[in-house]
Structure 1
Amino acid sequence: MTNKIIFEDWKTLEYAEAWKKQEVIFNKQITRKQNEEPTENNLIFVEHPHVYTLGKHGDRTNMLISDEMLEKINATYYHIDRGGDVTYHGPGQIVGYPIFDLENLGVSYKGFIEKIENGIINYLKEAHGLDTFQLPKATGVWLESKRGHEKVCAIGTRASKYVTMHGFALNINTNLEYFDYINPCGFTDKGVTTLAKVKGAKQDFEKEKSILKGFLAEAFEADLV
């Protein structure tokens, strides 16, 4: 492996603060590219308190609750500049922010999304024996249940000058009740699940983070530093 990915775990952090920290790293890489200096690839893991985010071109009507109800369930809401529609982040969910220079890694934007999906699919297969898959026109990682297609990982990103921002949200021990207040990713005919629900037991969150980062590095043929 010749590529390098700098890994950081921000532990638990409010969404707004994490967004600002992302932008600092993102802007630094953009400046480096403009100055023809070497860039870095950063992978950040974080866990957010209850928050809903709506993508740049998402439909606000997919948020099914009022501002008053948001306050009641102790959640916040942000309309942000990534792709995709509305999603939820909260405790027990691994949120990953890959701030990568795709030219540095030699991958297209479409290839970048596919590599994230494949890394997570391989992690769920090798670490947990689960058969998950990609769906056409439905970004993310899915599995089949008696209830139909259920998403275990959502993905929503953006890129400028081939530098990426935002990322994925993998449900480990996530409270699924919070998805009842939205049409997740704009879908009304598909469900959401968690690793804990599929496995029938709460998972060791820190252990899962440690395993997952290795599969993501492997997907990009990179070493974690």
Structure 2
Amino acid sequence: MAGAPRIEHLVTSGTFSLDGGTWDVDNNVWIIGDDDEVVVVDAAHDSDAVLAAVGDRRLSAIVCTHAHDDHVRAAPDVALATGAPILLHPDDQVLWKMTHPGRRPDGPLADGDVLTVAGIGLRVLHTPGHAPGAVCLYAPDLGALFSGDTLFAGGPGATGRSYSDFGTIIGSIGDRLLTLPGATVVHTGHGGTTTVEAEAPHLEEWVARGW
């Protein structure tokens, strides 16, 4: 028996670099699946830790919510060890090439795509703003959203660096995320989880302004 589909959580540590600066960061790595098959969301920093968490299960995909270096640094090594494809929205190729200039992702993510793992669907939502190719994954069967750096507990992801835009991320959150059921648990790229209904009050004001 493969067991019920579930969400597993790993935290890895390293650095994030862009626009000439480097910062120490802790990243959330999310593993979705059952005892036989999983998907990894954001193979961050430490390939050995990610591979240990996957164990002997089949890794069907390495999904990149966006291509900032802290979220994708370990992806090629995990792919090499498992044969799993790396999936990334094409609009983030410019960021991907900064970290992995000699290695292309194996496949594209597009808005509306549904990835299937352990019998459940993960719907791709294109949510640009933090990065042009940023995506979230919505798993209605699990009541869960994997938001990358688009939405955190307390507000939207940062937009003060290259290839980001505040108005765009607010539009993405309003159009794509605040329309989800309020009880949806938001599993973020950094820090703690939250829910759609917890974040809605302080985001709806920005949405209403038409940023």
Same fold at TM > 0.5: no
**Greater radius of gyration (CA):** 1
Higher helix share: 1
